[in-house]
Amino acid sequence: MILGRAFEDMCAQMYYRGKMFGFVHLYNGQEAVSTGFIKLLKQQDSVVSTYRDHVHALSKGVPARAVMSELFGKTTGCCRGQGGSMHMFSREHNLLGGFAFIGEGIPVATGAAFTSKYKREVLKEADCDHVTLAFFGDGTCNNGQFFECLNMAALWKLPIVFVVENNLWAIGMSHLRATSDPQIYKKGPAFGMPGIHVDGMDVLKVREVAKDAIGRARRGEGPTLVECETYRFRGHSLADPDELRDPAEKAHYAARDPITALKKYLIENSLASEADLKAIDKKIDEVVEDAVEFADESPVPSQSQLLENVFADPKGFGIGPDGRYRCEDPKFTEGTAHV
Amino acid sequence: MLTPFQYLLSGIYLTRYILYSRHELLLFEALQEGLEEEMERDIRVCVMGEDVGHYGGSYKVTKGLAKKFGDLRVLDTPIAENSFTGMGIGAAMTGLRPVVEGMNMGFLLLAFNQISNNCGMLHYTSGGQFTIPIVIRGPGGVGRQLGAEHSQRLESYFQSIPGIQMVACSTPYNAKGLMKAAIRSENPVILFEHVLLYNLKERIPDEDYICNLEEAEMVRPGEHVTILTYSRMRYHVMQAAKTLVNKGYDPEVIDIRSLKPFDLYTIGNSVKKTHRVLIVEECMRTGGIGASLIAAITENFNDYLDAPIMCLSSQDVPTPYAGTLEEVTVVQPAQIVTAVEQLCQ
């Protein structure tokens, strides 16, 4: 959680210093959800996120260096600089994105869960119990793809957990102004799956609920809808002036900061000392500083990278007038070929 | 004991038998055969769509497959195109090779989010980490009075999406070949079938074959004019060709098959030979495949043209229900004949 917080704070700094661009959506305040869920997963389990995906990536194990480089648009980024803030992917860590349009990642997550079931039942990999987590927000819960996937996941008992990070706001639209019945967790049973509500500012409570839901999915008992009540301390993105939210509401949730709460819990229960916690803070600062340094020193993509990953099989660019495939044109690897 | 001559003769007959042994089937059966063979060949190939399983597909392309391969490999989905197409994409990213059927291509308009953003882009935005070996297929085109919404030509809508390939089948031979090639391709491929072509009959080879996804098909070599077409219009063109031949013309007919990317080699060689081009398509005029083809030919082969390129497309109207109006919405053989005569003046 500390890594998530420190990383996101550094992102804000770097953005205002002109090192990263575009739409950057920070996760401050929601760390308990990412940590509470993702730290229970195995490497082969999959995570699908939205544009607010930096911390999901970090929790899943994508190195801070790779994420920071991606944000700087460098070729050493996890997506070679081609994805950016809203499109974090990692094959190695089974992070299936990073999606800009809300809701469009949920079917992809459903597909990953389908593959898990297919592996067990068709490919006969009897011990395949891979689980997929789909993270998305309150705004997404009014979107068709959400409901369509709840239906399909329950219908086929897919090993997936739908994790709603209800931070009460979709940019400037309050959840209460957008939703006829704002209690999202209640929509689970309508589709035949349990719907759980949890305090998303408390990492230990999130973890308990996550254990149950992930366990259900692993045992083949089907999907769960978990609504985490959480809050984002910053605006929707770094471009959002954040003028609509009531300061009293912000103060209320600031007092429930998940990191402060866990620190307090650890100290009160003698699980760690102040010195231990300070050491963690320091170590994380070093990791983040190192990530920035690495990103700074990394090269920007050259034009040669432009055409490489459009197609997995570059024959897809077709046959040119001279009878050769376009990708055989030497200019193709320079990124200057006419395609 | 056979003489050497008898061995040679039987060898020739055997080779001919192997090379040329064929069986006759209808286009939808050819698609089914291609799909079935690929499903037998690779256990990761699966089908998803509405009524593909127990119903056997609205045009019978998946008939019998659910019984053979099971309900999970031939998945009957709820009516949720955007989500089940996205599900297919997620499955493709995680190791499967799905074939997603749009019951009618028009329904895939609901899946545009997934097809544009995820199908076309994910390989790129993930920096090449994830491949999407998905095939999206289904019947489209103008049928017999099916009404505007069931008579759409989405090839023009999808053609700008970077990262996808589009092919259109027109004969049982290329239907099976393109289906197999599309399934084996690591790229996302959209395979356009036509509602009125499913019952075409042809004898196709017994042995395994695929059609190259990026190549056009020479239908009738000729000298006077290059006619570029695809899908159902190929048959209107061939009908017009008969009339044209009787009138003394020698048209070269090419079924472009690959709608994205264009096979500029086959097309270019033809243009260099005939110097006159007529495009006959079922797309609407505005922003259609023809429009892109004109741009590509002008850009690459302008010096070889003796006349401006002519393009016959469907009228820019929602396809009317009334038969008489529907008939004049699409290009008819008589118009093709007139166009060639004009072009060759």
A151–B78 CB contact, under 8 Å:
yes
A145–B86 CB contact, under 8 Å:
yes
* Distance in angstroms (rounded) separating the CA atoms of residues A99 and A135: 11
Q: Which residues of B touch A116 (CB under 8 A)?
A: 94
At A152-162, the pLDDT tens digits run 999 999 999 99
Task: Indicate whether B19 pLDDT > 70.
Answer: no
**Is residue A153 within a helix (H) or strand (E), and if so which, with residue range?**
helix A144-155
Q: Which residues of B touch A152 (CB under 8 A)?
A: 77-78, 80, 83-84, 87
| Least Cα separation, residue B29 to chain A (angstroms) | 25
Residues B63/B75, Cβ–Cβ less than 8 Å: no
Which chain A residue's Cα is nearest to B129? Answer: A91
pLDDT of residue A29: 96
Please report, rounded to a whole number, the percentage of residues in chain A having pLDDT higher than 90: 95
- Among B87, B92, B258, the residue with its CB nearest the CB of A318 is B258
At B169-183, the pLDDT tens digits run 999 999 999 999 999
Interface pTM (ipTM) of the complex? 0.95
- Among B72, B162, B186, the residue with its CB nearest the CB of A312 is B186
Q: What residue segments make up the domains of chain B, in order of their start?
A: 22-205, 217-344
Task: Render B263-319 in DSSP notation, one character per residue.
Answer: -HHHHHHHHHHH--EEEEEEEESTT-HHHHHHHHHHHHHGGG-SSPPEEEEE-SSPP
Q: Tell me, what amino acid is at B295? A: A
B150 catalytic, yes or no?
Answer: yes
Mean pLDDT of the B225-230 span: 98
List the catalytic residue out of B81, B101, B281, B282.
B81
Query: Which of 258-317 (A) contact B at CB < 8 A?
Result: 308-313, 315-317
pLDDT of residue B264: 97
A to B CB pairs, distance under 8 Å: 194
- Could you tell me which of A163, A254, A250 has the C-alpha nearest to residue A210? A163
Pick the CATH number of B217-344 from 3.60.150.10, 3.40.640.10, 3.20.20.120, 3.40.50.920: 3.40.50.920
The average confidence (pLDDT) of chain A is 96
| Least Cα separation, residue B129 to chain A (angstroms) | 6
Task: Render A238-257 in DSSP notation, one character per residue.
Answer: TT----SS-HHHHHHHHTT-
- Among B96, B213, B301, the residue with its CB nearest the CB of A118 is B96
| Least Cα separation, residue A297 to chain B (angstroms) | 20
Q: What residue segments make up the domains of chain A, in order of their start?
A: 1-301, 303-338
pLDDT of residue A126: 86
At A92-101, the pLDDT tens digits run 999 998 999 9
At A42-52, the pLDDT tens digits run 999 999 999 99
| Least Cα separation, residue B52 to chain A (angstroms) | 16
Task: Indicate whether A312 pLDDT > 90.
Answer: yes
At B59-81, the pLDDT tens digits run 999 999 999 999 999 999 999 99
What separation in angstroms does the CA of B84 have from each of A47, A106, A148, A164, B80?
18, 10, 9, 21, 6
Q: CA-based angle A138:A229:A164, to the nearest 5?
A: 40
HSE toward the beta carbon, residue B83, CA cutoff 13 A: 20
Task: Indicate whether B20 pLDDT > 80.
Answer: no
At A115-144, the pLDDT tens digits run 999 999 999 998 899 999 999 999 999 999
pTM for the full predicted model: 0.94
Which chain B residue's Cα is nearest to A311? Answer: B163
Q: How is residue A241 written in tokens?
A: 């002036």
A189 and chain B in contact, CB less than 8 A: no
Read off the DSSP letter of residue A100.
Answer: S
Residues B178/B257, Cβ–Cβ less than 8 Å: yes
Q: Which of B124, B190, B258 to mutate to test the interface with A (most CBs of A within 10 A)?
A: B124
Q: Which of A45, A62, A89 to mutate to test the interface with B (most CBs of B within 10 A)?
A: A89
Task: Indicate whether A168 pLDDT > 80.
Answer: yes
A118–B90 CB contact, under 8 Å:
no
B81 catalytic, yes or no?
Answer: yes
B127–A89 CB contact, under 8 Å:
yes
**Is residue A225 within a helix (H) or strand (E), and if so which, with residue range?**
strand A224-229
Q: Which residues of A touch B95 (CB under 8 A)?
A: 115, 119
A145–B94 CB contact, under 8 Å:
no
- Provide φ and ψ at B271, rounded to 5°: -60, -40
- Provide φ and ψ at B258, rounded to 5°: -90, 105
Which chain A residue's Cα is nearest to B264? Answer: A321
| Least Cα separation, residue B69 to chain A (angstroms) | 9
- Among B82, B131, B262, the residue with its CB nearest the CB of A312 is B131
Q: Which of B126, B132, B183, B271 to mutate to test the interface with A (most CBs of A within 10 A)?
A: B126
Question: How many Cβ atoms from other residues are within 10 Å of residue A299's Cβ?
Answer: 10
Question: How many Cβ atoms from other residues are within 10 Å of residue A273's Cβ?
Answer: 11
Q: Do domains B22-205 and B217-344 have the same CATH topology?
A: yes
- Provide φ and ψ at A150, rounded to 5°: -60, -45
Q: Using CA atoms in the order A220, A123, A156, B31, what is the torsion angle rounded to 10 degrees? A: 180
* Distance in angstroms (rounded) separating the CA atoms of residues B204 and B67: 25
| Least Cα separation, residue A9 to chain B (angstroms) | 25
List the catalytic residue out of B123, B150, B224, B236.
B150
pLDDT of residue B5: 83
Q: Which of B84, B87, B113 to mutate to test the interface with A (most CBs of A within 10 A)?
A: B87
Which chain B residue's Cα is nearest to A121? Answer: B72
A59 and chain B in contact, CB less than 8 A: no
- Among A46, A84, A111, the residue with its CB nearest the CB of B86 is A111
Q: Which CATH class is domain A1-301?
A: alpha beta
| Least Cα separation, residue B145 to chain A (angstroms) | 31
Task: Indicate whether B260 pLDDT > 90.
Answer: yes
B88–A111 CB contact, under 8 Å:
yes
Mean pLDDT of the A230-253 span: 94
A318–B70 CB contact, under 8 Å:
no
Mean pLDDT of the A171-194 span: 97
Q: List the single range of A165-169, B4-8, B227-231, B327-331 with lowest mean pLDDT.
A: B4-8
Pick the CATH number of B22-205 from 3.10.20.520, 1.10.287.110, 3.40.50.970, 3.60.150.10: 3.40.50.970
* Distance in angstroms (rounded) separating the CA atoms of residues B64 and B80: 23
